[in-house]
Chains A and B, each alone.
Chain A
Amino acid sequence: MQPFTTHTGRAVPLRRTNVDTDQIIPASYLKRVSRDGFGDGLFAAWREEPSFVLNQPRYDGATILVAGLDFATGSSREHAVWALMDYGFKAVIAPRFGDIFRNNATKAGLLPVVLHEKSVLVLQEAAEEDPAPEITVDLTAREIRVDSGTHGGLVAPFEIDNYTRWRLMEGLDDIGLTLRHEDAISAFEATRPAWLPATA
């Protein structure tokens, strides 16, 4: 995965709560066996509405999605992460995420930023008012900054655990990290009772 330290880009406000992963990428797109090209299915049903925020030319090229409470709930499909990344998003900001999506995002290198609801609202309103000013998502400093526009000077800290932050900043392969402890895995396996089920 690509390391993530800091990213500066423009924001798209998505003013909806409870956006489930079925909306992010409908099941009909999940039949593919690759990780690529899911961007065309991103919010597929909503993008048929000309007024949908991603269809507004003023948000073309934006790389940060600012979403509502309980973003990406429901299905475990990592395709939701792949679709957002393929479309060009580098980070998603929301007051709360579906647990599985948040895990998936940090494994694939899309930064999920949990931010207080009030700060999310400020960012959404700012992006609606004027989509031009850029937002900086600084993982090193654990903060969101808006340097220009009417909300210039906004600094909002966010929380992320040290381990996940380190993995993202280094772009580390989780499997490689775990395999460093293969001895511990083998030792654990030696203690498993014989009556535990096997599929073979």
Chain B
Amino acid sequence: MNGPAESSGPRTLAEKIWASHVVRSADGEPDLLYIDLHLVHEVTSPQAFDGLRAAGRKVRRPDLTIATEDHNVPTTGITGPGVPLIGPGSPVTDPVSRTQVQALRKNAEEFDIRLYPMGDAGQGIVHVIGPQMGLTQPGLTIVCGDSHTSTHGAMGALAFGIGTSEVEHVLATQTLPSVKPKTMAITVDGALPEGVSAKDLILAIIAQVGTGGGQGFIVEYRGAAIRALSMEGRLTVCNMSIEFGARAGLIAPDEVTFEYLKGRPHAPSGAEWDAAVAYWRTLASDEDAVFDAEVTVDAAALAPYVTWGTNPGQALPLSAAVPDPAAIADADAALAAEHALAYMGLAAGTPLRDVKVDTVFVGSCTNGRLSDLRAAAEVLRGRQVADGVRMLVVPGSMEVRRLAEEEGLHEVFTTAGAEWRSAGCSMCLAMNPDKLAPGERSASTSNRNFEGRQGKGGRTHLVSPAVAAATAVTGRLAAPADL
């Protein structure tokens, strides 16, 4: 973190950030890495705070720690700041959820951590509010007890998900013992065709690399198509790095990053801004840096993608048909496909465009930002959600909700027959009341199509916001071009 680190041969972006955060290095031991920002939410933290209490420890750096209520909170009945958690008027009807949110509030108060509670203008999904507030910055190390922490890598930070024991470790020490992963470059050459989004790109990458293909790697996304993405598109790509097993995914900071950050509440300003930008410009991988693995993707060959199975790698272009397990050469993959089709209630050979859905979900840390809502609204403007289809639009943060309402997007959604909700993780993982019923099928802009992810027995097809909106209109998986 002390300016450009020593010039010891060409290095990658990830290696530079790593080197500048090593507190202690010893032979045969993991490096002790300093953590610049620790994001906390109600689900993976209560046991960590209990551990601190049991050992009589404090939070070392409350000023580098921030908390939000996102996983459990309902997306209806949020009347504003100060909405009660307990008693009459509380939108949280599940007593177990209430206890968990209450535990976070108690812990944040006891350990002096800034918390954005349900109803607050700053509340939102942990991976949406970090970049939005300008807390997420290039060159930082960022952790959170959540696997989608990789999202923050889009701004040139080294960001990864950790478990509760590690949450406790970071709270107590502001460091994490870590073994340096290998590096992988995923270079996306060319330009994405019209109508192909960041979400389609990452689904295609996962399908190409396979769900375990990134295991043990920090991935850097590079190439013309990545450079051409907006900041929010980059956040979508990095968000799903964990879905092919990568420890983290990042993108070198550039003018797009600086433009996005400038003027945000926690971004540096004045002379400090200039110093920061000068430092950030040194972070990009050196031209002759060597990666342990390289993958190339041809952007021009891509199309809108949709998942057909029960892991994010089981994806195909929307124009394809449900695959036949018998035609899959690898025995494990064939068996997995067979299980997936049985769970999904799909027959091999069915065109994906013929698959009917009951629910459409637009939201999550993958696709719950303003540009995602704009993309969905654009398709819905002047159209109607099909009879029998329920469409939920859940902004990623209350700030996204406010900005969308300023543009009148909420009216586009409600006029079309969709439900306009408050911020939270919502139907991405169904820890709040937003869930699928058994057998119900969704088109969802979230990140996981695992069995039961959106509700026990629910069936999920992962899609982009534009495909989600077009699907809502036709009631079957569809792209805007099909309307």
Contact = CB atoms under 8 A, between A and B. Distances in A.
Interface of A: 16-18, 20, 22-23, 26-28, 30-35, 45, 68-70, 73-79, 81, 96, 98-101, 103-104, 107-108, 161-163, 174-175, 177-179, 181-182, 184-185, 188-189, 191-200
B1 A74 contact: no
B172 A77 contact: no
Given A76-B162, A181-B24, A195-B272, A32 B147 contact: no
B63 A200 contact: yes
Given A16-B336, A192-B1, 8 more contacts: A98-B215, A100-B161, A104-B165, A104-B166, A184-B24, A185-B23, A189-B174, A191-B2
A184 B99 CA distance: 38
A33 B100 CA distance: 6
Interface of B: 1-2, 23-24, 28-30, 32, 34, 36-37, 43-44, 46-47, 50, 55, 57, 60, 62-66, 71-72, 94, 96-97, 99-100, 103, 113-114, 134-135, 137, 140, 145-147, 161-166, 168-169, 172-175, 177, 179, 181, 211-212, 215-216, 242-243, 245, 247, 266-268, 272-273, 275-276, 279, 311, 332-333, 335-336, 339, 429-431, 448, 450-453, 456-457
Contact of A70 (B64, B140, B215, B457): B215
B281 to A, nearest CB: 15
Contacts of B44: 76-78
A76 B47 contact: no
A114 B23 CA distance: 29
B147 A100 contact: yes
A99 B216 contact: yes
B339 to A, nearest CB: 7
B97 A78 contact: no
Contacts of B65: 199
Nearest to B60: A185
B159 to A, nearest CB: 12
B335 to A, nearest CB: 8
A189 to B, nearest CB: 8
A196 B140 contact: yes
20 contacts: A17-B332, A26-B452, A28-B430, A30-B71, A33-B46, A45-B452, A74-B448, A163-B28, A174-B169, A175-B57, A175-B172, A178-B32, A181-B23, A181-B32, A195-B272, A197-B140, A199-B63, A199-B66, A199-B113, A200-B62
Contact of A174 (B94, B99, B165): B165
B97 A162 contact: no
A99 B44 CA distance: 17
Nearest to B95: A31
Contact of A33 (B62, B103, B275): B103
Across the A-B interface, the 10 shortest Cβ-Cβ residue pairs:
A104-B163, A107-B165, A78-B163, A33-B46, A195-B272, A76-B161, A199-B66, A195-B268, A31-B96, A78-B164
A103 B160 CA distance: 12
Contact of B431 (A27, A34, A194, A199): A27
Contact of B212 (A32, A70, A101, A196): A70
A30 B163 contact: no
Contacts of B453: 22, 27
A191 B22 CA distance: 12
B431 A76 contact: no
A185 B174 contact: yes
B276 A195 contact: yes
A184 B32 contact: yes
A107 B163 contact: yes
A31 B212 contact: no
A188 B34 contact: yes
Contacts of A200: 62-63, 114
B166 A103 contact: yes
Contacts of B161: 76, 100
A64 to B, nearest CB: 21
A76 B174 CA distance: 19
A31 B100 contact: yes
Contact of B146 (A35, A76, A192): A76
B163 A76 contact: yes
Nearest to A30: B43
B127 to A, nearest CB: 12
Contacts of B247: 99
Interface centre among A20, A81, A99 (most CB of B within 10 A): A99
Nearest to B99: A33
B147 A184 contact: no
A1 to B, nearest CB: 9
A197 B266 CA distance: 6
Nearest to B244: A73
B198 to A, nearest CB: 21
A174 B177 contact: yes
Contacts of B175: 178, 185
Given A70-B215, A81-B163, A174-B165, A23 B135 contact: no
Given A96-B215, A99-B247, A178-B175, A22 B451 contact: yes
A31 B429 contact: no
Contacts of B211: 18, 70, 73
B6 to A, nearest CB: 14
B187 to A, nearest CB: 23
Interface centre among A27, A35, A70, A200 (most CB of B within 10 A): A27
A175 B176 CA distance: 9
Contacts of A101: 163
Given A20-B450, A77-B163, A188-B23, A199 B57 contact: no
A5 B24 CA distance: 28
B147 A76 contact: yes
A76 B44 CA distance: 9
A162 B28 contact: yes
